[in-house]
């Protein structure tokens, strides 16, 4: 299969802790193509009141420059823009600085790794009444999910989607994340898989085939296609993704 879609990546250069240069971005994209990806959403971190607050105009300029260079090199890939928005106890959508995933209703958000925000359900509810569907990045990496995996059921009931990382299943983020993602996949609560890639020659690249085999063994081929291609494509096209617990 060579039509994978990645909705979570840190390939837009010089903005966050991901790619540092245009050349590095191109190297990551080449490796993505080798792994079978045809479309990628670039999702630099957005953290309010930090150095990760690049406005949308600047992000779009960088994206266009990257696309021009890819065209010069005859590299065929579709790129879109988004953000990974850090959420602690509140979230305010700054339309000048926050990009939803390909300008759809979907917004990629992440929580603190160690500390559970007090009002996640309220945050999801507030986003939903604004017409935004939150996509919660890598829940398996949060210690509070590792300790209580069933907590995600409440988020899904409120209307959120869950996105897990390919690398979690092979221990890239530690043994606890590995155990958690297995539980979440078996529970059938994950809607999307993505790379969350930050730099070239990453462990994710080195283990991608192993990751895919392990994931398929848990959820089966049909569900695997849904999580890696069908649902990510629906996000890009702003179509509905239905989840059931």
Q: What is the pLDDT of residues 18-49, one digit of tens each?
A: 999 999 999 999 999 999 999 999 999 999 88
Please state, in angstroms and rounded to a whole number, the distance separating the CA atoms of residues 133 and 145: 20
Residue predicted with more confidence, 123 or 90: 123
Q: What is the mean pLDDT of residues 185-214?
A: 95
Distance CA 158, CA 134 (A): 10
Lowest mean pLDDT among 76-80, 202-206, 215-219, 225-229: 202-206
State the Rg of the chain over Cα.
17
Q: What is the DSSP string of the chain?
A: ---EEE--B--STTSSSS--SHHHHHHHHHHHHHTTEEEEEE--EE-TTSS----HHHHHHHHHHHHHHHHHTT---EEEE--EEE-SS-----TTT---GGGSSEEEEE--SSS--TTHHHHHHHHHHTT-EEEEE-GGGSHHHHH-GGGHHHHHHHT-EEEEEGGGGGTTT-HHHHHHHHHHHHHT---EEE--B-STT-HHHHTHHHHHHHHHHHHHHHHHHIIIIIHHHHHHTT-------
Q: Cα–Cα distance between 223 and 119 in angstroms, integer?
A: 31
> Is residue 217 predicted with pLDDT exceeding 80?
yes
- What separation, in Å, do the N-terminal and C-terminal C-alpha atoms of the chain show? 28
Domain boundaries, the chain: 4-236
Confidence of residue 243 (pLDDT cuts 50, 70, 90): confident
- Quote the pLDDT of residue 215: 98
> What local confidence, expressed as pLDDT, does residue 118 receive?
87
Whether the pLDDT of residue 1 is over 80: the answer is no
CATH number of the structural domain 4-236:
3.20.20.140
In the chain, what percentage of residues exceed pLDDT 90?
Answer: 89
Give the Cβ contact number of residue 57 at 10 Å. Answer: 10
């Amino acid at each position: 299969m060579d039509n994978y879609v990645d909705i979570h990546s840190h390939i837009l250069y010089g903005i966050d802790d991901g790619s540092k240069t245009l050349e590095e971005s191109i190297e990551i994209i080449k490796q993505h193509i080798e792994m079978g990806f045809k479309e990628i959403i670039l999702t630099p971190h957005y953290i309010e009141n930090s150095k990760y607050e690049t406005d949308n105009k600047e992000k779009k300029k960088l994206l266009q420059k990257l696309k021009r260079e890819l065209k010069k090199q005859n590299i065929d890939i579709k790129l879109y823009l988004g953000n990974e928005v850090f959420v602690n106890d509140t979230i305010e959508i700054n339309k000048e600085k926050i990009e939803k995933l390909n300008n759809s209703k979907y917004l990629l958000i992440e929580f603190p790794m160690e500390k559970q925000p007090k009002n996640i359900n309220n945050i999801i509810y507030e986003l939903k009444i604004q017409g935004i569907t939150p996509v919660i990045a890598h829940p398996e990496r949060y210690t509070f999910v590792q300790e209580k995996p069933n907590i995600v059921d409440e988020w899904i009931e409120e209307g959120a989607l869950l996105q897990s990382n390919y690398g979690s299943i092979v221990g890239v983020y530690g043994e606890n994340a590995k155990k958690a993602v297995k539980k979440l996949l078996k529970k059938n609560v994950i809607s999307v898989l993505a790379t969350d890639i930050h730099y070239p020659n990453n462990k994710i690249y080195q283990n991608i085939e192993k990751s895919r085999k392990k994931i398929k063994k848990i959820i089966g081929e049909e569900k695997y296609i849904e999580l890696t291609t069908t649902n990510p494509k629906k996000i890009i096209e702003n179509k509905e993704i239905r989840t059931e617990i």
